[in-house]
Chains A and B, each alone.
Chain A
Amino acid sequence: MEENTIEIKITDREGIVHTVEAPTDMNMNLMEVIRSYELAPEGTVGICGGMAMCASCQCYVETPNLPLPEMSEEEEDMLDQAFYVEDNSRLGCQIYMKEELNGLQVTLAPESEVE
């Protein structure tokens, strides 16, 4: 694999597994990786732009042993307002691509319904 790149597995909302390469030297977060590979339609993920203010990038982390960044109060608050939240829920926009996250596996949470 190229330098400064990690491999991650993302399961989209249709259940399709995508193995993608993510750069670790571009200050990119998981939500941005999902958007750049267009794994969910525009406007359904990363709505707030990555401020931990909307939960549209909620995902379930399936690799519990990887060292994820600690949850900020803002992320916790937002997840608190979100639906379909599980113990392994995180906001994709708060997980930055780093060397130690090589092999990360996540599943996008369902889109919440609006009126």
Chain B
Amino acid sequence: MIKTDILIIGAGPVGLFTVFEAGLLKLRCHIIDALPMTGGQLAEIYPKKPIYDIPGYASVLAGDLIKKIEEQIAPFEPTYTLGERAETIETQEDGTFIVTTSKGTKHHAPVVAIAGGLGSFEPRKPPIPNLKKYEDKGVEYIIREPELYRDKKIIIAGGGDSALDWSIFLTEVAKEVTLVHRRTEFRGALDSVEKVQELVAEGRMKLLTNSEIKEIHGKNHVEAVTVKHKTEGNRKVEVDHFIPLFGLSPKLGPIGNWGFEIEKNAIKVDNATDYSTNIKGIFAIGDVNTYPGKLKLILCGFHEATIMVQSAYKIINPEAKKLVMKYTTVSGVTGFDGVKKEQKKAVIKKM
């Protein structure tokens, strides 16, 4: 069981920055995210896009902002459960919570901060009529265990980086790799596109462009797929596995069933006080919450996180005296490693 003070769900900018504000109050944080990396939307959707409304930065790339926040929170030693989706929450008799992930990892904390953005990122499924029937029977949307494909015939669909990179990688493992793409252009990195061309030229990979997979065949497991070419009609390709890689899309998912008041796909919170939800001890901050006048902006999420940790402190330290807010400029920042960052004392030279 992982124990912490504030369990944060969502490793986007707001979830990450919560670690800093909590750390100033000597509260420890653990973060869960369904993606295998930190950054949330900024990493998954637009890492190379500039953001212009972060105070102090005339322009900052989304990916760089995440790196900067990670650097800023490092003294507070956050811990992570990545690549696992927060699935269930159980309120304990003492009012604390146990959150269990999709892989069964359990987390125990007196306060939960949901910074889940638009939800967890899940693979997008192509509209193929009998697709569902073959899920985990030869159809996989995420490659978890490349060894599964050893000496198998596989067909990958998609035109982005993940489709290209996995096709390249799996030529080393699988018996046969076919990549299907709707157009002739790929939007992946140039290196990957060139590598694919090379492998195709060497006969180690088959490439079907201007094509789409329309149907899956097989009794209890994928045995073949129908590939439709724009102008040349249909053909059946014998395969053991079909891997559609069309990117991820966010979905509110299980947290939608945790008993919160939901409005417009977001969690209603009390913005007059501390962004608390209708469940005591659980807060919602950033894009995942809603209240009158809500703006889905990173900078608003930072504010919400800052306010929220004050209430979290009171829940975690019910006996404590009134909390006095300290300016970091005055008090410096002392990490959990004991290292203190503070202004250098001015050297005064006597005359």
Residues of A in contact with B (beta carbons under 8 Å apart): 41-44, 47-49, 51, 53-54, 56, 77, 80-81, 83-85, 110, 112-115
Q: Chain A binding site: helix, strand, loop or mixed by DSSP? A: loop
Which of B16-24, B116-124, B312-320 sits within the interface? B116-124
Cβ distance A50 to chain B, nearest Cβ, rounded Å: 11
- Give 8 A-B contacts (CB < 8 Å), ordered by A residue: A43-B250, A48-B41, A80-B183, A81-B158, A81-B246, A81-B247, A114-B248, A114-B249
B159 at the interface (CB under 8 A from A): yes
Q: How far is the CB of B68 from chain A (nearest CB, A)?
A: 21
Known pairs A53-B45, A53-B49, A115-B141 / 8 extra A-B pairs, C-beta < 8 Å: A43-B119, A43-B264, A47-B250, A48-B45, A80-B187, A113-B127, A114-B122, A114-B251
Query: How many of chain B's residues touch chain A, expressed as a range?
Result: 20 to 34
Q: What residues of B have a CB within 8 angstroms of the CB of A56 in the complex?
A: 249
State in angstroms the CA–CA spacing of A53 and B49 once bound together.
10
The answer to whether B123 touches A51 (Cβ under 8 A) is no
Interface residues, chain B, CB within 8 Å of chain A?
A: 41, 45-46, 49, 118-119, 122-127, 141, 158-160, 182-183, 185, 187, 246-252, 264-266, 296
Bound together, the chains give a CA A54 to CA B248 distance in angstroms of 9
Given contacts A42-B265, A81-B158, A114-B249, contact A51 B124 (CB under 8 A): no
In the complex, are the beta carbons of B264 and A41 less than 8 A apart? Answer: yes
Minimum distance in angstroms from B199 CB to a CB of chain A: 21
CB distance from A1 to the nearest CB of B (A): 29
Give complex CA distance A53, B35 in Å: 18
> Is the Cβ of A112 less than 8 Å from the Cβ of B124?
yes
**A51, B49: Cβ atoms under 8 Å?**
yes
- Contacting pair A42 B264 (CB below 8 A): yes
3 tightest Cβ-Cβ pairs between the two chains A and B: A43-B265, A42-B264, A114-B122
Contact B125 A80 (CB under 8 A): no
With a cutoff of 8 Å between Cβ atoms, the chain A residues found around residue B247 in the complex are 81
Most buried by B among A53, A84, A114: A114
Q: How far is the CB of B102 from chain A (nearest CB, A)?
A: 11
Nearest A residue to B142, CB-CB: A115
A33 to B222: give the CA distance in the assembly, Å.
43
Inter-chain contacts of B187 with A (CB < 8 A)? 77, 80-81
Measured between beta carbons, the chain A residues less than 8 angstroms from B185 are 80
Q: What B residues does A114 contact at CB under 8 A? A: 122-125, 248-249, 251
Q: What is the minimal beta-carbon distance from A19 to any residue of chain B, in angstroms?
A: 23
**B contact residues around A54 at 8 Å (CB):** 45, 249
Q: Which of B158, B250, B265, B296 contacts A41 (CB 8 A)?
A: B265
Distance in angstroms from B266 CB to nearest chain A CB is: 7
Separation in Å of the B256 CB from the closest CB of chain A? 10
Q: CB-CB < 8 A to B264: which residues of A?
A: 41-43
Given A80-B185, A81-B160, A114-B122, residue A43 in contact with residue B46 (CB < 8 A) = no
With the chains together, A115 CA to B85 CA distance in Å? 12
Across the interface, which residues of A come within 8 angstroms of B182, CB to CB?
A: 80, 85
